[in-house]
Amino acid sequence: MTIKNRSDNLPANKIGLPVFILSSAILAAGALKYSIYTGGDYERYISLGNDFWNYFFTGDPEKLPRLSLWAICYFIPNLIIAGGVKVFGSSFHPIFVCFNISLYSIMTVLFFKVWSPGSGDRLDWKLGAIGFALIFGLPTEVLSHNYNVLSDVIFLTATGAVCYFLANAVLLRSGRDWRYAFAAGFVTVFIRPPGLMIIVFLTIAAVYVYLAVKIKNKALAPAVLIIGPACFALLVWPALNYFKVTKSGLFEKIYPASIRYYYESGMVVAERPEMYLPPPEEYFDYVHIVVNRLFYYFYPLRETYSTIHNVYLLIYAVLIVSLIYMGWRKLAGVGVNGANLAFLLFLLSFYFGLFHSMLFVEDFRYQLPSLPPLWMLAGFATARLRI
């Protein structure tokens, strides 16, 4: 895979450090605008993390916290944040912001490496500009999370790493990168609950790539992988809530009561009461809630935003959708591997939407991990590929 050579371009095998420095500089400048924010989840990280650290140091099983969604699926941020605060106190907050900035910049480097991987190739400045416009083009909705002492950027970067290894695995038919992708996916399980969905997705992706060359009807598998999960999320899952299945048996133990409350209160997007629906009574009321969540998960505009803010988001949305279309066509034009990767990147983003529509949507925090696969796909729009 290569990018058009030009004498004024930067060699692709030397882009890592300049991209990292530029990315870090942009995010460091953002610290002048955004203050450090801890958020409602912060205290839970501290509490559970302290319990784990106490258990590690004492070996006393009574110190081990009760195994729960928060204890398991936030294990890594629990340890990092609680451990950092235990050692450095409140001084850890700016240290964690620097950690976020480094992670975000590493993700940026990985994406540019995928877009221009060959050691003899060169990075077109047009690709560089487009790449930065994509990854740094949502300052309020995305970049501000770098200054939060929360799990968001850790999970965003881990998702970006999954996309990076997935791209190499599919384009280069690399078994080693498949293993790396699954390893990165396994790590995401202990950062945020959607990591469970990532493992399911990677399993589906591996089977899809293996079977894609054997299935004669090329539209059948993609249709099944889109329609099947969509039907489960939009039709079956609402039925489980309507018939109160989530209040019995195994569900009662693993399904947070707060998720049921969000349904019963008609919540579409958290803390956006103007989007709430009436409390559901019939089956299709539950369907209506999930469908609205999926719509607003990807719909960028908000009634409470200023006109300028919404216009900016609309321009960004048009840009990224146009580049996604161009990137998809570019990948599809170079063979089955490129077409497979384009579809899988889209599918990962779509699955994030379905997952959160079933459970809980918080404005833009939970949309973050759906962006890396779209950024990667859009970034291919300006590259000349040879696979």
Per-residue model confidence as pLDDT tens digits over 273-301: 888 999 999 999 999 999 999 999 999 88
- Comparing CA positions, the residue from 81, 6, 97, 20 lying closest to residue 49 is 81
C-alpha distances in Å from residue 69, one per residue of 96, 210, 366? 23, 33, 17
pLDDT value of position 256: 73
Q: Can you point out the beta strands (E) in the chain?
A: 10-11, 122-123
pLDDT value of position 191: 97
pLDDT value of position 253: 65
pLDDT value of position 75: 96
* Residue 199 and residue 160 in contact, taking contact as beta carbons nearer than 8 Å: no
* Residue 151 and residue 49 in contact, taking contact as beta carbons nearer than 8 Å: no
- Comparing CA positions, the residue from 20, 227, 7 lying closest to residue 112 is 20
Point out which residues pair with 10 in neighbouring strands. 123
C-alpha distances in Å from residue 351, one per residue of 15, 22, 196, 246, 387? 32, 32, 11, 21, 27
The predicted model scores a pTM of 0.91
Domain boundaries, the chain: 10-213
- Comparing CA positions, the residue from 103, 3, 85, 15 lying closest to residue 44 is 85
Give per-10-residue mean pLDDT for the chain (387 aa).
Answer: 39 73 93 87 93 90 81 95 95 96 96 72 73 87 92 97 96 93 98 96 95 78 94 94 74 73 90 90 94 94 90 93 93 89 97 94 88 94 63
Q: 């607003």: which residue's tokens?
A: 296
Helices (H), 281-366: 283-298, 307-332, 336-359
Point out which residues pair with 271 in neighbouring strands. none
pLDDT value of position 211: 86
Q: 């699954």: which residue's tokens?
A: 182
pLDDT value of position 61: 84
- Comparing CA positions, the residue from 288, 311, 287 lying closest to residue 300 is 311
pLDDT value of position 334: 82
Cβ neighbour number for residue 306 with a 10 Å cutoff: 9
Amino acid at 137: G
Tell me the chain's radius of gyration from C-alpha atoms.
21
